[in-house]
Each structure stands twice: as structure tokens, then as C-alpha cells.
Amino acid sequence: MEPALIEARGLDIAFGAIPILRGVNLAVPAASVALIVGRNGAGKSTLVRLLAGLSAPTAGEASLFGAPSRTLDSAARRRLSIVTHQSFLYPNLTARENLEFYADLYRVADGRAEIPRWLERVGLTSAAHARVRTFSRGMEQRLTLARAMLTRPEVLLMDEPFAALDADGVGLVADLLCEAVARRCAIVLTAHQPITIDGLEFDLYEIVRGRLRPMHGRAIGASAPRAIGGVGR
């Protein structure tokens, strides 16, 4: 069995006396996607932060690439990308400057040369020199996707990546997910409700009262390979 790139073992976290997550176990090997659904406040974003090592669990351990998330070395962190409700973009930098910053920070080979291609891919070529503070929420989300994918991650943690996107944007996310899986990226994805993406298989989980449990079966879309992504709800 292939080792898990993303793993949670007995994760607990509580805010004060309120338990948010209890005994969460999860293993996501390369080239696979775990889709985690749950209502508002179920703990999806908290779980993503724990997996990324951005929060400390009350008990248990999250690990990436077989090492504890909170003490990952630089080489391992270079292989990780995160999409959260916060865009991680600097409002007073332009779209291009933001991508240049992250390409330099992650020392992406040919990163700067790749930037025009990514801006075109997310439909922001005409806004390349506009400051992010002038962007709509949807444009910011598109640039966030470019920022996350530019570094060619091997582990991708995405908290509700479809938020604020129009139909084209949702298709874009679907395509990016398919491509990431094709290059053997391990992905954790959260959403409010189960979704299907053509050509992509998910291991489907639900967070209920702080516990992560598998949902019956797998959410499987059409098996035929596709050029343009689409999402069914």
C-alpha cells in the first residue's frame, strides 16, 4: 500500500471548553483526493489548518510527507500549497508581483517565466498589472489558485476552493484538480456538500459533531477523460 502523504492520527482540537474536532483519522496517499464535507462551523477549516501545521492540536498528530506538520523542514514545505478563505495575497502588489513574490519565495525553477501562462490560465492576463486590492472576490480567488499551483505542489490543502467563483471558475478548479492528481499530488479538499468532478475520484468524508467519518461509497464522476473540467452538485 502506498504511504500517505497527508495523515492525521487521533487529531483533537478544542477552543476553550468547546471541542471542535475529536479523534480525526485520515490518510491520503499520492494521486488521490479526500473530499471533506460539513456544515458551517463543522471544523473543516480548522482541520485544514491542523493538517498544514498552522495550528496546534490539543491531542494527536498531523503529518505531511511522513513528518509532523508543525516541524516540517524547508524542503518539505516547498512541496506544500494551501488554499484557504484567506487569499495570502498582498493587496498593494499587482497580480503579477504577487506571483513573482511566491515564485521567488518557493524558488520555483522558471517560476517567473511561468507567470504569464498562469495568469492566462486563470483568466487574469488583462489584470496582471492591477493591484489585488482592486480585485473582486472571484478574481482574488482565481489568483489564489494560480499562486497555489505555480509552485507545483505535491500536497495540496484546499479549503472551499469553489467559494466566490463563477461557473467558469468552478470548471477551472476542476481542471486544476485533475491535473494535480495526474502528476500524483495528494489533495484534501473541503466543501459544504458532496460534489462530483468528471474524471476525478474522491474519498468522501463528512465531519459531524467533530468526528470525521467516511460517507457511503465514493463520489465518482464520469470516467471519461476530459479537456475542460465540470462540477456537478
Partner 1 sequence: MTGFSVILRKDLRLELRSGESTIALVALSLLILVVLVFALDPVGGVRDAATAAGALWVAMIFAGMIGSTRALLAERDNGCLRALIASPLDRGALYLAKLAAAFIFMAIAEAAAIVLMVLFFNLDFDSRLLRLLPIIGLGALGFSALSTLLAAISGRLRAGDLLLPLLAVPMFVPALIAGVKASGAALTGASFGASAQWLKILIAFDVIFLTSGYLLFEHVIGED
Binding residues vs partner 1 (CB under 8 A):
49, 52-56, 70, 74-75, 77-78, 80, 82, 84, 86-93, 97, 101-102, 104-107
Residue in this structure with the C-alpha cell 459544504, named with its chain if needed: 192
Burial of 204 (0-12, 13-18, 19+ CB in 10 A): buried
Buried b (16+ CB within 10 A) or exposed e, 3-38: ebbbbbeebbbeeeeebbbbebebbbbbbbbbbbbb
| Minimum CB–partner distance for residue 148 and partner 1 (Å) | 10
Specify the residue, 153 or 229, whose C-beta has the smaller distance to partner 1: 153
| Minimum CB–partner distance for residue 147 and partner 1 (Å) | 8
Closest CA to 222 of 207, 212, 209, 232: 232
Q: How many helices (H) and strands (E) does the chain have?
A: 6, 12
Closest CA to 122 of 157, 88, 161, 154: 161
CA 138 to CA 149: how far, in whole Å? 17
| Minimum CB–partner distance for residue 39 and partner 1 (Å) | 23
Element (H, E) at 15: strand 4-15
Specify the residue, 41 or 214, whose C-beta has the smaller distance to partner 1: 41
| Minimum CB–partner distance for residue 130 and partner 1 (Å) | 13
Q: Taking a C-beta distance cutoff of 8 angstroms, is the pair 162, 173 a contact?
A: yes
| Minimum CB–partner distance for residue 105 and partner 1 (Å) | 5
Specify the residue, 3 or 91, whose C-beta has the smaller distance to partner 1: 91
Specify the residue, 57 or 169, whose C-beta has the smaller distance to partner 1: 57
Specify the residue, 65 or 202, whose C-beta has the smaller distance to partner 1: 65
Amino acid at 37: V
| Minimum CB–partner distance for residue 92 and partner 1 (Å) | 5
Specify the residue, 63 or 87, whose C-beta has the smaller distance to partner 1: 87
